Structure 1
Amino acid sequence: MSFFNKRTKTGKDGLSVDTMTNGARLIAAAEPKSPVAEQFRTVRTNIDFAAVAKGEIKTLLISSALPSEGKSTITSNLAVVYAQQGKKVLLVDADLRRPTAAATFDLKRNSAGLTNYLGDNQKDIVDVIQHTAMENLDIITSGPIPPNPAELLGSGRMTDLVTKLKAAYDLVIFDVPPFLMVTDAQVLMAKMDGVAIVVSGGKTNKGALKRTNEILQIAEAPLLGFIYNDKNRKKKGNSGYGYGYGYGYGYGYGDTKSN
């Protein structure tokens, strides 16, 4: 498994490709007793509390307003801490534009992934689910990057897949592209039991959050809250990773720090 990104790389669009190339940081797996791993367990607990009010959450979509806000790192580590809890967990890399799960968990992306399944009616679910080295945690990687991601995610075959996965797993977590970049997250929201938005400390601005909030309200999304990712903050005793995570309910974006 890839626990650390070694250097910052950017693609032609100027966005970081670190997680695509090296994978997200699996701190919860590498150092499960660290303060940062404990923060992921706190996020897990608060999502479970939200489920008490909203009903059982078996499908969880995690996104952000803009790219490079840490959503894939948070999504992967949440999947790990839920699996460590003993739940049967499936992580679906539904970011069909900038996928990361294959690199994070050292799995094959192109041979059997989500796009392979959605584009081939003869494919069975078992053909695209890959087991990880971690007990209770399975992955569906993105597969080859398609020319029509939003259409695939909004298809009837995707709806059927979500239904089947809910019956097979205790929790299915979907990592999807940022809300303000493409419509992929919006077309998938209606199929979800819960939605959580990653907010990056010192980066996410109020304008981006306001627009994301508007999209969520119009879509009547099952919003659970936001996950605050202050990756630049260093705390004593956090093993030097500089991550801090929090969880908030509702549309409480007014207090979020702006750039």
Structure 2
Amino acid sequence: MFKAGDKNAKNLSKAVLDERYVSTEQIRMIQLRVQHFMGKDTVNIMVTSADDKVKKSLLAVKLSMAMAEQGKKVLLVDMDTGKPSIHRWFGESNRSGWAEAVYGGKKAGGLIQDTFQPGLYTLMAGNGRYGLQDVLLLEEVKRTAAECRKNFDLVIYHAPSYRSSADAQLVVHECDGVIITAKTGKTKTADLLLTRKEIEKAGNQVFGVILQTGG
């Protein structure tokens, strides 16, 4: 699964085996749901949350790796430009990525990186943030999402908390389903229900809600 002697791979291996935040059984349940949509076209999934108290990145990484291990070509996109984290799991630079593509007009294809996991690629969050009018932002998000779909079986978007992110509320229209994460004892039920309602109001479906109990 990992390249021998790769320090980043070994560290990530330990995190993947840690059941405190996301259990293997939860990942399997999501996999089964996603597999129903696998076909000729690229499947697009968003991992988001009802608030900012949840650690979403490990779920996104675990799911991405699990799907890649099944022989799928997977792209993991970090949309959380405010709190980028995917690059840390892989020990990579966050110098450029989603922000430069959406807000800077760069081609996403030239910013995608491969990883030590065969079949798994990443588009990091990046550093740039530019002011765009809503109409222009919508067009750039659509363009970038279309580029991300090229040559991949599955695209997983690691997004900020849904109701606080314009990018997430735009990308949801490009996705086949959404996974919401919540933290036991921290996330308010009202926030979780409202997030689900807004996603469904946007015409999308919630694949499932993952409750985190650790840390």
What is the TM-score when the length of structure 2 is the normalising length? Answer: 0.81
**Residue identity in the other structure for 2:69:** Q
Three-state SS of the structure 1 residue aligned to 2:161 is: coil
How many aligned residue pairs are there?
Answer: 205
Structure 1 residue 172 displacement after superposition: 0.4
In structure 2, the partner of 1:163 is 146
**Residue identity in the other structure for 2:101:** Y
Pairing 1:62–2:47 present = yes
User: For the residues of structure 2 that align with 1:149 and 1:227, how far apart are their CA atoms?
Assistant: 33
Q: 1:31 to 1:115 in 2, by over 3 A?
A: closer
In structure 1, the partner of 2:115 is 132
Structure 1 residue 120 displacement after superposition: 4.0
In structure 2, the partner of 1:215 is 198
In structure 2, the partner of 1:87 is 72
User: For the residues of structure 2 that align with 1:156 and 1:189, how far apart are their CA atoms?
Assistant: 14
| Structure 1: tracts of 5 or more residues without a match | 5-25, 233-259
Identity over the aligned pairs, expressed in percent?
Answer: 23
Pairing 1:175–2:158 present = yes
Which is higher, the Rg of structure 1 or of structure 2?
Answer: 1
Q: Deviations over 1:60-114 (max 9, x none)?
A: 011000013121111111111111221111100011111111112111111x312
Normalized per residue, the structure richer in helix is: 2
Three-state SS of the structure 1 residue aligned to 2:162 is: coil
| Structure 2: tracts of 5 or more residues without a match | 1-7
In structure 2, the partner of 1:42 is 28
State whether residues 196 and 225 of structure 1, in contact with CA within 8 Å, keep that contact through their aligned partners in structure 2. yes
In structure 2, the partner of 1:106 is 91
Three-state SS of the structure 2 residue aligned to 1:91 is: strand
User: For the residues of structure 1 that align with 2:133 and 2:156, how far apart are their CA atoms?
Assistant: 18
User: For the residues of structure 2 that align with 1:152 and 1:101, how far apart are their CA atoms?
Assistant: 28
Structure 1 residue 202 displacement after superposition: 1.9
In structure 2, the partner of 1:192 is 175
Structure 1 residue 145 displacement after superposition: 4.4
Q: 1:84 to 1:131 in 2, by over 3 A?
A: same
User: For the residues of structure 1 that align with 2:199 and 2:151, how far apart are their CA atoms?
Assistant: 28
What is the TM-score when the length of structure 1 is the normalising length? Answer: 0.68
